[in-house]
Chain A
Amino acid sequence: MSHHLFILSPSDTPIYSLTYSSTKPAGNVSSPLSSNLPTWSTSAFAGTLTALSGASSTTQHTSGGGVRIGGGQDRHVIQMIANASLDAVEEVMRKENTMYLKSVDKFNEWTVSAFITPGNSKFILLHEAKNDEGIRAFFTDVWELYVKTVMNPFHSAQRVIKSNVFDARCRASAKKYL
Chain B
Amino acid sequence: MATTSKQYLTRGEDLWKGRAEKVNAELFALTYGALVVQLIQDYEDFAEVNKQLEKMGYNIGTRLIEDFLAKSGLGRCTDFREVGEVIAKVGFKSFLNIVPSVTHNAPVPNSSRPTSTGSAPQVDNGSSFVLTFDENPLAEFVELPEDVLEGGLWFSNVLCGVIRGALEMVQMQVQAEFISDVLRGDEATEIRVRLVKYLEEEVPVGDD
Contacts and interface: CB of A to CB of B under 8 A. Distances in A.
Interface in A150-178: 151-155, 162-163, 165
In this complex, the member of B143, B144, B148 whose beta carbon has the largest number of chain A beta carbons within 10 angstroms is B143
Contacts of A152: 33, 141-143
A154 B143 CA distance: 7
Contacts of A162: 145
A148 interface: yes
A154 B30 contact: no
B36 interface: yes
A119 to B, nearest CB: 15
Contacts of B141: 148, 151-153
Interface in B13-43: 26, 30, 33-34, 36-37
A163 B146 CA distance: 10
A149 B143 CA distance: 8
Contact of B34 (A149, A153, A163, A165): A153
Most central of A148, A149, A155, A163 by chain B CB within 10 Å = A155
Contacts of A163: 143
Nearest to B38: A153
B145 A154 contact: yes
Nearest to B143: A152
Contacts of B148: 154
A78 to B, nearest CB: 28
Contacts of B33: 152-154
A148 to B, nearest CB: 6
Contacts of A151: 26, 30, 140-141
A153 B145 contact: no
Which of the listed residues A149, A153, A162 has the most CB atoms from chain B within 10 Å of its own CB? A153
Nearest to A150: B141
A149 B140 CA distance: 11
B147 to A, nearest CB: 10
B170 to A, nearest CB: 33
Nearest to B33: A153
Contacts of B140: 151
A149 B36 CA distance: 17
Interface in B28-67: 30, 33-34, 36-37
Interface of B: 26, 30, 33-34, 36-37, 140-145, 148
Interface of A: 148-149, 151-155, 162-163, 165
Given A152-B141, A154-B145, 13 more contacts: A148-B141, A151-B26, A151-B30, A151-B140, A153-B34, A153-B37, A153-B141, A153-B142, A154-B37, A155-B143, A162-B145, A163-B143, A165-B143
Top 7 nearest A-B pairs by Cβ distance?
Answer: A153-B33, A151-B141, A153-B37, A152-B143, A154-B145, A152-B141, A163-B143
10 contacts: A148-B141, A152-B33, A152-B143, A153-B33, A153-B34, A153-B141, A154-B144, A154-B145, A155-B143, A162-B145
